[in-house]
Amino acid sequence: MDQIIQFNNVGKKYGNVVALNGMSFSVSQYEAVGLVGNNGCGKTSTINIMCNLIKYNNGEVIVFNKKVTPLNVSYKNKLGILISPPVFVDEFTPSQYLRFVCKFQHVDPKEISKRIGDVTTLFNIVSVDKIKIARLSAGEKMKVALAAAIIHNPEVLVFDEPFIHLDIHTIDLLTGLINTIRNNKTLFITSHNLDLIINVCSRFLIMEKGRIIDNILKEEGVTVDMIKTRIKEKITAGRSENRKPDWLS
Amino acid sequence: MASLLNTLKFIMAYFRVVSKYTLFLISTSWIIYLTDIKGDLYYFLSANVFFVNLVLIYFLTKGDKYLEKNRFYLLFNISDVNRFFSKSILFGIPFLMHFSLFLLVVTGIDYLLYLTLFSILIVIFSGRLILFNNVSKLISGIYIPAFTGLLLSAYFVSGVLTMIILSGLVVLSLVFIISRSLQLNKND
């Protein structure tokens, strides 16, 4: 199968802080890959580099067979990107915002109204035309961000923490949606919620200190609990037990 | 890459939402220059209106800074050049209105000096465009002072014909730079 995303020995530093340290992995077409790891291990940096939102310092990132450089941005229309924290134009209403997203993502102008109607109904986004995004709740904002990520029917879904702030109903809806479309889409997702990520992904990359330390495949005979235990073992290995402060009674 | 037209529509919608009253004020306050008030009050009012509008336009151009910071423009491939063009159209037209009326009607400068100052404005605008094309700061650094110096010296030592030829040259260079920018933009 074609490799859609390739990270070859990628390094990223923020000043003296190393975010990615020789990160290497690849994602094939129609694969659903979950990236898991502790806070600060470099998951968001990986997504941001993949989507050309930040520059990397060394190594090579190839997406759709083209090296990711500041000038190579054409591939981004093929991605459905949800970054963390999600990006909005706070002063717009959801429908205004989604309309411009459609225009920027080259959706057929005749289709725009239908698509906005479809995604807002799908995610049950209320007050589409009346309330500015700035005044929506965190969960509602997340729904708008998800709607914006899929509205142009992208080939690859790149989601950074898509489940946070969502209510149970929307989480079920999102996992159901991903499971429905995953045969025709490539999925790259990060999350701290192991149950949900195991539900939607077929392969798991475990990250620690800016690099991949394990690669787990969901295959026959491997149960969800086994995957979960293995992931937990890996990401908690070498961690000392956190002691409760004496004053906290 | 988001097209120039869509970027312009977005910039207009954005500024209409965030600062419609300021935009309205800027777009209409030039009427002050044409009022029939005589004496010092007229000059006082006009000068204030002009400078207040300059300041307002300057701050308005920075009004979308947070979209830059939250990476909205990066996420949707909205290029710096397209944003610059769009903002130039949105704010440039009312600015030119104020600039021209203030100089020609209020201060009553001669057309030659107006042409010189107008040409210098275009030189600065196109110099900024050169910078976007990543050519080099050096070229922009030479282009702006060289053309400005040429325009000023032409105004002080030469006649109308030289000035008109020079201003034409400036406009031509602007057209060239804009077409080059759009071409590069398209190739991206």
Band the pLDDT of A19: cuts 50, 70, 90.
very high
Cβ distance of A87 and B70 shorter than 8 Å: yes
Number of domains in chain A: 1
CA distance A88 to chain B (A): 7
Mean pLDDT within A37-64: 92
Band the pLDDT of B136: cuts 50, 70, 90.
low
Mean pLDDT within A2-28: 92
Q: What is the pLDDT of residue B54?
A: 92
Q: Across the interface, which of B2, B67, B75 has its CB nearest the CB of A53?
A: B75
Domain-embedded: residue A204: yes
Q: Does A93 touch chain B (CB under 8 A)?
A: no
Judgement on whether residues B33 and B120 belong to the same structural domain of the protein: no
Q: Which of B91, B108, B125 is the last residue of a domain?
A: B108
- Domain enclosing residue B50, as ranges: 1-108
Find chain B residues with C-beta within 8 A of A76's C-beta: 75, 77
Cβ distance of B2 and A77 shorter than 8 Å: no
Domain-embedded: residue A249: no
Judgement on whether residues B97 and B11 belong to the same structural domain of the protein: yes
Judgement on whether residues B48 and B124 belong to the same structural domain of the protein: no
Q: Which of B53, B74, B108 is the last residue of a domain?
A: B108
Domain-embedded: residue A115: yes
Q: Are A43 and A233 in contact (CB under 8 A)?
A: no
Q: B68-113: per-residue pLDDT in tens? A: 888 899 999 888 888 988 999 999 999 999 999 998 888 888 888 8
Judgement on whether residues B77 and B155 belong to the same structural domain of the protein: no
Domain-embedded: residue A248: no
Only one residue has tokens 């702030």, namely: A165
Q: What is the pLDDT of residue A134?
A: 92
| Residue A190 pLDDT > 90 | yes
Band the pLDDT of B2: cuts 50, 70, 90.
confident
Judgement on whether residues B130 and B47 belong to the same structural domain of the protein: no
| Residue A47 pLDDT > 90 | yes
Q: Give the mean pLDDT of chain B.
A: 82
Q: What is the pLDDT of residue A240?
A: 66
Band the pLDDT of B145: cuts 50, 70, 90.
confident
Q: What is the pLDDT of residue B179?
A: 73
Domain-embedded: residue A76: yes
Find chain A residues with C-beta within 8 A of B184's C-beta: none
Judgement on whether residues B2 and B12 belong to the same structural domain of the protein: yes
Q: A61-94: per-residue pLDDT in tens? A: 999 988 998 878 888 889 999 998 898 899 999 9
Judgement on whether residues B22 and B98 belong to the same structural domain of the protein: yes
Q: Give the mean pLDDT of chain A.
A: 89
Find chain B residues with C-beta within 8 A of A78's C-beta: none
Domain-embedded: residue A197: yes
Band the pLDDT of B135: cuts 50, 70, 90.
low
Domain-embedded: residue A108: yes
* Tokens representing residue A77 in the block: 């229309």
Judgement on whether residues B93 and B126 belong to the same structural domain of the protein: no
Q: Which of B108, B134, B151 is the last residue of a domain?
A: B108
- Domain enclosing residue A26, as ranges: 3-236
CA distance B52 to chain A (A): 25
Q: What is the pLDDT of residue A177?
A: 86
Judgement on whether residues B13 and B54 belong to the same structural domain of the protein: yes
Domain-embedded: residue A202: yes
Band the pLDDT of B50: cuts 50, 70, 90.
very high
Judgement on whether residues B95 and B57 belong to the same structural domain of the protein: yes
Judgement on whether residues B162 and B90 belong to the same structural domain of the protein: no
Judgement on whether residues B151 and B175 belong to the same structural domain of the protein: yes
CATH number where A39 lies: 3.40.50.300
Number of domains in chain B: 2
Distance between CA atoms of residues A100 and A104, nearest Å: 6
